[in-house]
């Protein structure tokens, strides 16, 4: 039985590949693939140095593949092995590009016309920093243009990629209030998560973070400090299905919603949807199969049946096939 995973760190793919090979050579080869929890613990705890984006992404890809194998052996989707569905479909949002406010507004309208009911946008052109009042004003103008283009019934997530300075963060959040964002994502870098409780207290807009956090121990601190409303762990960076399922349960205990990060390919997205399916606190799922850095190739080409990810009315149905619910075209991949 073949299982598939998507272990990658953007810009460090070869490094993660080496880490996967080390995990296979040093421990996994010859082991029973069904003992997923034991394998996860061995991969994580087996070395003196733990955590970080490289190791956790390598573990994530292996973990996805192990769950895919297990589901295929039992002829059941992974969500059934995790306790069963809490929903039949998952709401998705679409990333939009553009630098000038008008361009972003036009891109937003185009995606809404395609059926999406939620969007996410970069808050600044070319990922510029927000470290002065003028930069705050420019960011607000972009969000205002999108809100004007799509009206009040479409949700808009605003991603700052940690580029807001701590002094400007509260000012920015207050300035965005009239435009009712679905969430403000990563207003500050994860290194400055200690600033999130103050930012959250200054606004009614939900605060989201988590794409650059790699384990339940990273998330533990923001739960305990009441710092966020939405977490965004990445199934290809944060230890895979096993770990993110635990993180989702932790979040539920703190009344925090789940919106997994996923700017990657269909294996990563399929893994996300398996966890979304059985997590009561799932809010929405990122999908970026046509994101700007995938434009030179169609990442759906390596699926035997790409229709598994057809979006209708802003939702995707939960695949009911065994394992991750997708079939890889191995001839195309190889």
CATH number of the domain encompassing residue 210: 3.20.20.120
Q: What number is the average pLDDT over the span 320-331?
A: 95
**Confidence bin at 144 (pLDDT 50/70/90):** very high
Out of 59, 76, 93, a domain closes at 76
One domain, residues 61 and 150: no
User: For 259-314, what is each residue's pLDDT tens digit?
Assistant: 999 999 999 999 999 999 999 999 999 998 765 444 555 778 889 999 999 999 99
One domain, residues 102 and 43: no
One domain, residues 154 and 175: yes
Quick one: pLDDT at residue 292? 46
Please give the residue range of the domain that contains residue 33. Answer: 13-76
223, 201 contact by CB (below 8 A)? no
Residues in the chain: 334
Residues marked as catalytic: 161, 261
Of all residues in the chain, the percent with pLDDT exceeding 70 is 97
- Total of domains in the chain: 2
Q: What number is the average pLDDT over the span 24-48?
A: 96
One domain, residues 45 and 134: no
pTM (global) more than 0.75: yes
Residue 5 counted as domain residue: no
Residue 1 counted as domain residue: no
One domain, residues 71 and 92: no
User: Distance between CA 311 and CA 291 in Å, rounded?
Assistant: 15
One domain, residues 60 and 30: yes
Q: What number is the average pLDDT over the span 104-128?
A: 91
- Identify which has the larger pLDDT, 286 or 49: 286
Quick one: pLDDT at residue 111? 94
Closest alpha carbon to 138 in 150, 122, 153:
122
User: For 214-254, what is each residue's pLDDT tens digit?
Assistant: 999 999 999 999 999 999 999 999 999 999 999 999 999 99
Which CATH number does the domain housing residue 31 bear?
3.30.390.10
One domain, residues 52 and 160: no
Sorted by sequence, the CB contacts under 8 Å of residue 43 that are 6+ apart come out as 23, 27, 28, 58, 59, 62
């Amino acid at each position: 039985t073949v299982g598939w995973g998507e272990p990658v760190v953007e810009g460090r793919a070869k490094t993660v590949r080496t880490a996967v090979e080390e995990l296979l050579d040093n421990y996994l080869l010859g082991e029973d693939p069904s003992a997923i929890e034991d394998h996860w613990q061995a991969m994580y705890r087996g070395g003196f140095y733990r955590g970080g984006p490289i190791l956790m992404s390598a573990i994530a890809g292996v973990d996805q593949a192990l769950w895919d194998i297990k589901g295929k052996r039992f002829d059941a989707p992974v969500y059934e092995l995790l306790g069963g569905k809490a929903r039949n479909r998952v709401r998705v949002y679409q990333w939009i590009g553009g630098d000038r406010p008008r361009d972003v507004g036009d891109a937003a309208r185009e995606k809404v016309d395609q059926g999406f009911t939620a969007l996410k946008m970069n808050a600044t052109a070319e990922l510029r920093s927000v470290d002065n009042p003028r930069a705050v004003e420019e960011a607000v103008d972009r969000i205002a243009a999108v809100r004007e283009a799509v009206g009040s019934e479409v949700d808009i997530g605003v991603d700052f990629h940690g580029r807001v300075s701590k002094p400007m963060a509260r000012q920015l959040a207050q300035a965005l209030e009239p435009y009712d964002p679905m969430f403000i994502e990563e207003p500050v870098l994860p290194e400055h998560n200690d600033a999130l409780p103050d930012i959250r207290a200054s606004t009614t807009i939900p605060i989201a973070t988590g794409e650059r956090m790699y384990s339940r121990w990273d998330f533990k601190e923001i739960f305990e400090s009441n710092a966020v409303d939405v977490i965004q762990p990445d199934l290809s960076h944060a230890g895979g299905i096993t770990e993110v399922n635990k993180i989702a349960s932790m979040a539920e205990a703190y009344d925090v919603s789940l919106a997994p990060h996923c700017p990657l390919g269909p294996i990563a997205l399929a893994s996300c949807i398996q966890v979304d399916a059985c997590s009561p606190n799932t809010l929405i799922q990122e999908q970026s199969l046509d994101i700007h850095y995938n434009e030179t190739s169609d990442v759906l080409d390596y699926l035997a049946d790409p229709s598994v990810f057809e979006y209708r009315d802003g939702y995707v149905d939960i695949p009911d096939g065994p394992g991750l619910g997708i079939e890889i075209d191995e001839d195309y991949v190889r």
